[in-house]
Each structure stands twice: as structure tokens, then as C-alpha cells.
Chains A and B, each alone.
With several copies, the nearest count.
Chain A
């Protein structure tokens, strides 16, 4: 059914968008100290990328750990 496929695609696109909003919100708070310039410093860029990767690594580890607890 094309409508279902369309809605599923929209839903997963929307989930990705919402994750990006959430990560930007958290990582901007952690990585950007002041707003005294319009550009990101190389350190801020690196911090943002690490923040996203570390958050995803933490989440993967938590999901695996919980599956292990259940067994």
C-alpha cells in the first residue's frame, strides 16, 4: 500500500530530524561556551562530532547491556 509506505518514510525521516534537533540542543550546550562569534572554532566542531558519536556509543552500549540483563 503506497500510502502506508509514504507515511512510514515520513515517520522515519521525522525521527531522524528530531534526533538531530535533540543532539544539536544537547551538544551545543556542552560544546559552545560563548556566542562571541558567528563561526565554530575547530575545537567546537570536533567537540560536536565527538558528542554525537559518544552519545550514540553510549546508547548502543545501554541497549546491549539491558538485553544482557534480561537474559
Chain B
């Protein structure tokens, strides 16, 4: 139950963050038509950025010389 709620909270957070970022990056002119390809590319790029950030952050947490301070 707790795990399900957390998974839902994470999915909602991810959808909202990707939508905000990709809306801004793909639609600098709000008059123009949406560009579906741009949103797909942006989504893939965001997921790759998520992996890079995740790896970097977890490496810092696990580094015994600094982990206590984070």
C-alpha cells in the first residue's frame, strides 16, 4: 500500500516535470502548432538525464568521505 502510493507519487512527479520542461523547450512560441517529434525526443533526453543525475547523486551518497554531509 505504502509502496504503491510512493510509486504513484513518483510517476506523477515525473510526468509533471517532463511536461513542464518539454512544453517550454518545444513550444517557445505558444502560437505555433505542437511538434510531436520534439516532445518525443525531449522525453527520451529527459529520461537519459534522469539516469545521469541518479548515477551521480547515488555515487555521492555512497562515497564515505562526503556521504554524512548530504
Main secondary structure of the interface of B (DSSP, over half): helix
- Chain B contacts with A in 10-50, Cβ cutoff 8 A: 10-11, 13-15, 17-23, 25-27, 30-31, 34, 36, 38-50
Query: A62's contact among B18, B30, B49, B58, by CB below 8 Å, is which?
Result: B18
Chain A interface, number of residues (Cβ within 8 angstroms): 52
Query: B70's contact among A32, A48, A60, by CB below 8 Å, is which?
Result: A60
Q: Is the CB of A61 within 8 A of B6?
A: no
Query: A55's contact among B6, B14, B23, B31, by CB below 8 Å, is which?
Result: B23
Which A residues have a C-beta under 8 Å from some C-beta of B?
Answer: 6-7, 10, 13-14, 16-21, 23-25, 27-32, 34-40, 43-66, 69
